[in-house]
């Protein structure tokens, strides 16, 4: 199993990741607000930027295992609705341009992070939203990986609802991304989450926390049962990357640069350990 880490562009970054031992990258260059950043570019500028990043990533010896689509956004603002959908479609197209099979997206959250008075209706809204998106996924031959959230009160905050949405859409271009830290934060054991998703599971976001908050700690530093997680991945025959979604630079900002680099290499060793344990 290959190891990957979420990252955006910066000078020399892709070479750094390869030197640390990573095989692939979870490309975060498409993670921007609707209408902002990369989504404010013309179609030509958009394509040129992604092709340049693609060439640099490949030249560094890395694959692009997945991308992260538009984020953040605010579903409580009706005026953002059209811009967001356009950005979602552009995320899918951008994923095709950069040469990745998967784009990870978050669910529609009509009440933001707050508890909704009509939760079931919100779940149905997500099903309809994904049905509108999958034709674009088919057009560009990119799979949409819908991600679970770190809050049980929002749609897909529970992995059972994530599975329900995917089954209701019933299209091979909609699959699951399990965010391990998010499942831990809502009290769902990571191994149980893997087994619930089963063959729907194609992508991972791997990090840890205290079992309550979405801290994005390094694996083994929190409450997640990593042994059960890797055993479950073996059971379902998971074939994707072990993709890390945290970094030492993010979480240990006071470390001197030389120790930070050693910490990032250590994080890759953790990723390789998890990948080895999860491999058949």
Backbone phi, then psi, for 186, in 5-degree steps?
A: -100, 10
Span 3-278 CATH architecture: Alpha-Beta Barrel (3.20)
Tens of pLDDT, residues 82-119: 999 999 999 999 999 999 999 999 999 998 898 888 89
What CA–CA distance (Å, rounded) separates 64 from 47? 16
Percent of the chain with pLDDT over 70: 100
Tens of pLDDT, residues 231-269: 999 999 999 999 999 988 777 767 888 888 888 999 999
Which of 166, 170, 153, 146 minimizes the C-alpha distance to 66? Answer: 146
Give the domain ranges of the chain: 3-278
């Amino acid at each position: 199993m290959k190891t990957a880490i979420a990252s955006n562009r910066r000078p020399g970054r892709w070479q750094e990741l390869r030197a640390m031992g990573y095989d692939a990258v979870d490309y975060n260059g498409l993670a921007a607000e609707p209408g902002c950043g990369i989504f404010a570019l013309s179609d030509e500028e958009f394509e040129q930027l992604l092709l340049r990043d693609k060439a640099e990533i490949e030249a560094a010896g890395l694959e692009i295992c997945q991308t992260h689509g538009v984020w953040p956004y605010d579903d409580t603002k009706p005026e953002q609705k059209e811009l967001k959908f356009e950005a979602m479609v552009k995320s899918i197209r951008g994923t095709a341009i950069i040469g990745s099979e998967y784009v990870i997206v978050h669910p529609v959250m009509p009440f933001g992070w707050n508890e909704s008075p009509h939760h079931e209706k919100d779940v149905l809204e997500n099903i309809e939203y994904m049905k509108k998106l999958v034709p674009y996924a088919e057009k560009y031959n990119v799979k949409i990986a819908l991600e679970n959230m770190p809050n049980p009160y929002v749609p897909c905050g529970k992995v059972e609802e994530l599975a329900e949405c995917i089954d209701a859409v019933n299209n091979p271009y909609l699959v699951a991304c399990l965010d391990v830290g998010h499942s831990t934060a809502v009290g769902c054991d990571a191994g149980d989450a893997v087994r619930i998703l089963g063959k729907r599971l194609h992508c991972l976001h791997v990090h840890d926390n205290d079992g309550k908050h979405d801290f994005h700690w390094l694996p083994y530093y929190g409450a997640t049962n990593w042994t059960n997680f890797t055993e479950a991945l073996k059971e379902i025959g998971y074939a994707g990357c072990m993709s890390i979604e945290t970094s030492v630079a993010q979480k240990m900002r006071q470390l001197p640069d030389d120790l930070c680099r050693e910490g990032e290499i250590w994080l890759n060793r953790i990723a390789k350990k998890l990948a080895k344990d999860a491999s058949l």
